[in-house]
Each structure stands twice: as C-alpha cells, then as structure tokens.
Amino acid sequence: MPGIVIVGAQWGDEGKGKATDALGDRVNYCVRYSGGNNAGHTVVVGGQKFTMHLLPSGILNTNCTCVIGNGVVVDLDVLAEELAGLRARGLDVRHPLISADTHIITSYHQVLDKVTERFAGNRRIGTTGRGIGPAYSDKINRIGIRAQDLLDPDGLAAKVQASLASKNQLLVKVYNRAAIRAEDVTEALLAHADELRPYIVDTSRVLNQALANGQVVLFEGAQAHHLDIDFGTYPYVTSSNPTAGGACTGTGVAPTHLDRIVGIVKAYTTRVGEGPLPTELLDEDGERLREDGGEFGATTGRPRRCGWFDALPVAQAGMVNGFTDVFLTKLDVLTGWPEIPVCVGYEVDGVVTDIWPMTEREVEVARPVYERLPGWTEDISRVRVFDDLPATCQAYVKRLEALIGTRISGMGVGPGRDQNIIINSLM
C-alpha cells in the first residue's frame, strides 16, 4: 500500500497530525501537499507534546524522509524556527526536502493578510494572519516567489521588486501603511539560501521514484474538506486545496498512485474562524465539549467553536474525496454524556434533507435535525480492542459509520501515540 492520503473531513483540527504519526516508522516519505503554517498538527509522544505548523508530522519518525510539496506555501523563518525548536528539545531531525516549485510567504504577504482582514470588518474570514491567502493569490496571479528563486539572487531581487510595486501602492494609498522595501525582503529571503540550497530539489521525481521502489509515501493533508477553496464553505475557507486531489497537484504524483484515502473525522464538530457551522452549540454544552476536548487552536490559541457530530458535511467529504477509510478521533472526549445528539439532516426552508446543501445561503439557514444516541460513562482511554468498548459506545461508532457511508478503520481514544483502536490496518 504505497500511497496513503490523510484528509481532514470537517473544518480542520480533526487529529491529522496524530493519525500521521500513528502510522509510524513504516512510512518512508511524509509529504505536506497544501497550506502552510496556518496548520497546527499536534503529536503527543511519551507525554511530550509537539506542534508542527509547517513541518510534516512524520518528522518525529527517524525512518521517514519529510517533503514539502509544491502545493505548500512556505514561510522560511517558520521553517528554520520549527527545525531549531525540535532540535533544541533533543530530537535528531533531518531537514525536509523542498520542492523547487514551492511558493514562499514573504513579509508583505503577512502584512497584507492582516490589513485586509482589518479592512473587511464584519466580512472578515478570521484567517490565521500568516500570509497564506496573499501568497496563494500571488501564485495564481503569476507574481509569486518560489523556492528555486533562492538559487538565483538577481532573478529573485527582480521578482520581489515587481511583485511589491503594486502592493506598495495599495499599502500606502488604501491601507495607510508604510511601504515595504524590496531590498529588505530580498535580503531576508536570501539569508536562508545557503542553508536551504541542498534541500531544494525536484520532489516530484523523488516521490515517484520512492513509489516505483514500493516505498510508503504518506500525503499529510492540512486544513480540511470544508476549508477547501473549491469545496469548502466559501468564502470562509483557506486558499488552497486540502482535498485529496490536492495530494496530486500539490506534489506531482499521479492519482493512480493513491491507494488509500483516509478521512480523519472528529467524533463531534469544531471550527476556528468565521463561517457557518450548523451544529454549533452556543450554550454550556458547547463550553463543556471545548473544555473536555481541549479545543483551543494549536496555531492561534483561539477557542474553537464546538458542536455535535454532523453527518452531512462528513458524508459529502467522503464522496468528494473518495474515502476508503475513516479514522474517528477523540471518541474519549464524549465520555460522560447521558445522551449524545448526532445531526442526521438539515431543515432548510421547511424541507428536511440529508444531503449537504448546494448553496452558501442554504448552509447558513440550515437547522440541524438530531437523532439522540445513548452515551457511556466508562473511561475508554485504555481500551485497544473495539469489542472492549461499552456497548453504547460501539453503537455510536457503528451509527456514525452508517451515516458517513465509509468504514471506520480506526479510532482515537486519547492524544497519545498508542491510544488507538485499529480495526483495519491502514497499510
């Protein structure tokens, strides 16, 4: 099973980092294919917590070569800081390979992200402020800076100059901000050039060769289906394609190499930032889910909005991404509720549907229709075999499986690396 894709099925923070790490030292290559340091992927090993924003979570497995694919946007300062941070904690981590085509986030992307959000007022997206949207805009506008430009300082300087010219007009005349000097940006980028030079390679070729040799390549998605620029709750989305297709366009590996598409699904629902969330709980139940699940953003520290499990967005993600398996996370967080509501439909304009609506307006007005499942009180965090779970917990998982329409091959019962119940091996 050489090509495995990990995709978030909801609005992010489903536990993709933990699922990636749990596949362990059988993974030869771990590649990020979309997003940037807007992600926050948490892995807990031996009681120690590690949060990766840009580095693939496979970095904690010494066997694994990490790759930053062309579909990612890279902040070079963050890359250096993250590596230094892990090394300072005594880990012997290898530098990831970086696609020569990967776009770079510069200081002007970060400034623009923040000022446009402020300017948008109540139309703001609630971005992470990391410069993600502006960096992808430049990529699409064909005025981006790529990793390979670090290898050609004169070419880099000219590209930064060209890209900044119109942005400075905007910054000064519209946003009333100081202009940014192209020389300063170029200098800051070139400060990383010597260190990065050996790692800037044709990663598509590296990954294709690995697959041809029967090695295991794990494509680690960031963000999630409903934050996808095409399939998410637009405009409240990120600016890339976290969905499974992004694993191909974001790495240069063909769809024929993708053997398993694993949807990572949280046993309830969370979201950070603005945008619709049909099952959101604005009462003490939502507060309790947030506390029990530790639902505070791994990147910005913002409290995550919480709600009951919603089958409609997850089934939709299953269809679009072609999930072969689902990994259900944070089941342990639901321990202690007498009854657990699960959303099985939406009432939209007086009509009940069990299909994810087509339009933005319908999602915004959707009123969830709940089915109430019996809960459990037993501590399940030490359970490792499905049949040892309380009967009502087993029934909860089985009901979710039927609603999602994809087999649940594993589940998480705690944040630790080994706190999993595996039904079907993912490789």
Site of interaction with ligand IMO (CB under 6 A) = 8, 12-13, 38-41, 125-128, 130, 132-133, 222-224, 227, 238-239, 272-273, 298
The minimum distance between CB 106 and ligand IMO, in angstroms, equals 15
Name the residue nearer to Mg ion (CB basis): 18 or 146: 18
300 class by beta-carbon count within 10 Å (0-12 exposed, 13-18 middle, 19+ buried) = middle
111 binds, among ligand IMO, ligand GDP, Mg ion, none (CB under 5 to 8 A by kind): none
13 is catalytic: yes
The minimum distance between CB 109 and ligand IMO, in angstroms, equals 11
Name the residue nearer to ligand GDP (CB basis): 106 or 238: 238
Site of interaction with Mg ion (CB under 5 A) = 13, 40, 298
257 is catalytic: no
Name the residue nearer to ligand GDP (CB basis): 171 or 413: 413
Measuring CA to CA, how many Å separate 354 from each of 33, 202, 225, 313, 343?
Answer: 31, 44, 18, 10, 9
38 binds, among ligand GDP, Mg ion, ligand IMO, none (CB under 5 to 8 A by kind): ligand IMO
Site of interaction with ligand GDP (CB under 6 A) = 8, 12-18, 39-42, 44, 294, 298, 329-330, 332-333, 412-415
The minimum distance between CB 110 and ligand IMO, in angstroms, equals 10
Name the residue nearer to ligand IMO (CB basis): 272 or 334: 272
Q: Which residue is nearest to ligand GDP (CB)?
A: 412
24 binds, among ligand IMO, Mg ion, ligand GDP, none (CB under 5 to 8 A by kind): none
405 binds, among ligand IMO, ligand GDP, Mg ion, none (CB under 5 to 8 A by kind): none
333 binds, among Mg ion, ligand IMO, ligand GDP, none (CB under 5 to 8 A by kind): ligand GDP
Set 21, 41, 228, 310: catalytic member:
41
Name the residue nearer to ligand IMO (CB basis): 263 or 345: 263
Return the active site residues: 13, 41
